[in-house]
């Protein structure tokens, strides 16, 4: 039986809502009926060609649902189990995995190159980032399925698969925010809002949200921001003024733009830390001179998937949800259907809203 999916026929082409045929799960595979899928900026980057993906493809990498069937050898989940999808399952064998840095696994995205389904006319399809969550059902490697801990709403749990793992990890694993520190978060989209909540959980004393639109101020403050700054050339000066002319201890950039990466760097105090979470294109060049690197003594670091280990971190996040410290629903600004994904893409292009959630 065919299921509906949002198919990217070619890079730069409009998404097509169409029927696809999924095979039964083979050895080491799991079939999942999606409850919800978040629309992430990475999906837009794939659709526009900023990030490369084999096409035609079904995009969507942030999802949660219920196991329909399992293939031979799968024992950690069974039919009927609620699960979160992990778009970057680690192999456990490469150099990075051997170092315990599973978020840098060299083989995590190998599944994206495989044919996993076909359209009803027989066209072969790839899973955009391993899990192909923009579909009513999907078939994924067993390693891409994480049991959902009790007490987390299944629909909202989709956000754990990318936005929350990334934002939480950026704060706790990459920047390592300590209680009492000051933090600036550049970008108040889905990942930015998760980062703001995570900074609050970490005990940051002052949390400054920066975005290009005034409409996001209420969202940012609800997520934990104590201050809101409209992005401009004066942003670093404004942030220093808010912090006794020192700059913040930590700046986390969630937009992937050269101008905001540079602004995050300049907003950080001498000896502070700047972490880049946003995924930018190769044309986004950021420059530094040798003297400022010496003088400011800052640390600039990249951050992949929040430097997170999903198997370790999802249970921790679930505990934050159960206790009310983490509010997943507050990250969602609209709940949509498959056909509404192109509109969500356009909103991201102009910096509107937080996270759009496809609800099946």
Domains contained in the chain, CATH given = 3-161+327-359 (3.90.180.10), 166-304 (3.40.50.720)
Residue range 320-349: mean pLDDT, rounded: 94
With a pLDDT cut of 70, the percent of the chain lying above it is 100
Query: Which is it for strands 62-70 and 16-21: parallel, antiparallel or unpaired?
Result: unpaired
Average pLDDT score over the chain: 96
Confidence (pLDDT) at 131? 96
* pLDDT tens digits along 172-222: 999 999 999 999 999 999 999 999 999 999 999 999 999 999 999 999 999
* pLDDT tens digits along 2-14: 999 999 999 999 9
Look up the pTM and report it. Answer: 0.94
Say which residues have a Cβ less than 8 Å from residue 199's Cβ, sequence separation at least 6: 171, 177, 183, 185, 207, 224, 252
In the predicted model, is pLDDT for residue 1 greater than 80? no
Residue range 150-161: mean pLDDT, rounded: 95
Confidence (pLDDT) at 329? 93
Confidence (pLDDT) at 185? 98
CB 118: neighbour CB atoms within 10 A? 16
Confidence (pLDDT) at 49? 87
Burial of 35: CB neighbours in 10 Å, binned 0-12, 13-18, 19+: buried
Give me the phi and psi of 329, to 5 degrees please. Answer: -65, -25
In the predicted model, is pLDDT for residue 350 greater than 90? no
Q: Are 129 and 46 in contact (CB under 8 A)?
A: yes
Confidence (pLDDT) at 64? 98
Is the C-alpha dihedral spanning 177, 179, 184, 189 positive or negative? positive
Looking from the CA of 68 toward its CB, the CA atoms found within 13 Å total 16
* pLDDT tens digits along 26-45: 999 999 999 999 999 899 99
In the predicted model, is pLDDT for residue 65 greater than 80? yes
């Amino acid at each position: 039986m065919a299921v509906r999916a949002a198919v990217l026929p070619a890079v730069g082409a409009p998404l097509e809502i169409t029927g696809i045929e999924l095979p039964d799960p083979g050895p080491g595979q799991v079939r999942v009926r999606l409850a919800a899928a978040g629309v992430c900026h990475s999906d837009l980057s794939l659709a526009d060609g900023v990030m490369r993906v084999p096409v035609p493809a079904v995009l969507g990498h942030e999802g949660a649902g219920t196991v329909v069937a399992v293939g031979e050898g799968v024992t950690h989940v069974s039919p009927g189990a609620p699960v979160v999808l992990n778009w970057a399952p680690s192999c456990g064998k490469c150099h990075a995995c051997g170092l315990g840095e599973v978020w840098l696994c060299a083989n995590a995205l190998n599944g994206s190159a495989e044919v996993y389904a076909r359209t009803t006319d027989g066209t072969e399809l790839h899973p955009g980032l391993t899990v192909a969550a923009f579909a009513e059902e999907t078939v994924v490697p067993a390693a891409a399925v994480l049991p959902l801990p009790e007490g987390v709403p299944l629909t909202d749990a989709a956000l754990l698969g990318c936005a929350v793992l990334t934002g939480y990890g950026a704060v706790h694993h990459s920047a390592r925010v300590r209680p009492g520190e000051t933090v600036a978060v550049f970008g108040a989209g889905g990942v930015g809002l998760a980062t703001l909540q995570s900074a609050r959980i970490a005990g940051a004393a002052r949390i400054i949200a920066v975005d290009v639109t005034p409409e996001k101020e209420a969202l940012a403050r609800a997520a934990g921001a104590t201050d809101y700054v409209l992005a401009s050339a004066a942003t670093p000066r404004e942030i220093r003024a808010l912090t006794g002319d020192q700059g913040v201890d930590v700046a986390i950039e969630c937009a992937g733009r050269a101008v905001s990466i540079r602004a995050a760097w300049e907003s950080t105090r001498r000896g502070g830390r700047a972490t880049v979470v946003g995924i930018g294109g190769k044309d986004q060049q950021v420059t530094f001179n040798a003297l400022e690197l010496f003088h400011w003594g800052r640390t600039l670091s990249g951050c992949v998937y929040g430097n997170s280990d999903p198997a370790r971190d999802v249970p921790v996040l679930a505990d934050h949800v159960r206790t009310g410290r983490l509010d997943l629903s507050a990250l969602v600004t609209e709940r949509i259907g498959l056909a509404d994904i192109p509109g969500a893409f356009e909103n991201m292009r102009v910096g509107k809203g937080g996270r759009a959630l496809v609800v099946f």
